[in-house]
């Protein structure tokens, strides 16, 4: 949500929503903005630690490039995922999912050993 605020123009709408995807046993959370958007060629790099997109419009915006990497890592630990859909100069939607099925003992042990 912080990124949505930082990268959206004043007065741009930011929407947070969640829905159950019962077909895949998960909850999907979306944060959508009407910000500057992200070029398709930069989307794959967004969850890389310390990666920041360099554009003239983003030079004044501070950040470490860790937020999305942390979100994706935490989602993975909880048997979920994180991804982005964006259109340059239109806005972005950031998603993360969390599995709603109780993990079996082996899955719990694997998740705990990853921490």
- Tens of pLDDT, residue by residue over 10-47, are 878 999 999 999 898 999 999 999 988 888 888 888 88
Count of structural domains, the chain = 1
Report the pLDDT value the prediction gives residue 83, as an integer from 0 to 100. 94
Q: In this structure, are residues 4 and 35 in contact, taking their beta carbons and an 8 Å threshold?
A: yes
Question: Would you state the pLDDT for residue 35?
Answer: 87
Do 64 and 50 touch, CB atoms closer than 8 A? yes
Parent domain of 15: 2-114
**In the predicted model, is pLDDT for residue 115 greater than 70?**
no
Q: Is the dihedral of CA 50, 53, 55, 61 positive or negative?
A: negative
Q: Give the pLDDT confidence score for residue 112 in this predicted structure.
A: 66
**Mean pLDDT, rounded, for 48-67:** 77
Q: Which one, of 76, 84, 91, 101, lies nearest residue 22 by Cα?
A: 101
Residue 98's Cβ-count burial label (10 Å; 0-12, 13-18, 19+) is: middle
Please give the mean pLDDT across all residues of the chain. 86
Residue 71 is predicted with a pLDDT of 93
Q: How confident is the model at residue 86 (pLDDT cuts 50, 70, 90)?
A: very high
Any idea what the CATH number is for the domain that residue 85 is in? 3.30.565.10
Question: Token pair of 14, please?
Answer: 């930011």
């Amino acid at each position: 949500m912080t990124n949505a605020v930082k990268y959206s123009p004043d007065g741009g709408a930011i929407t947070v929503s969640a829905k159950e995807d019962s077909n895949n046993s998960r909850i999907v959370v979306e944060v959508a903005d009407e910000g500057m958007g992200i070029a398709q060629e930069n989307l794959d790099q967004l969850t890389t630690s310390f990666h920041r997109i360099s554009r003239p419009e983003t030079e004044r915006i501070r950040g470490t490039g860790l937020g999305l990497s942390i979100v994706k890592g935490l989602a993975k630990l909880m048997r979920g995922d994180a991804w982005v859909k964006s259109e340059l100069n239109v806005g972005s939607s950031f998603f993360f999912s969390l599995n709603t099925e109780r993990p079996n003992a082996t899955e719990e042990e694997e998740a705990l050993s990853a921490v």
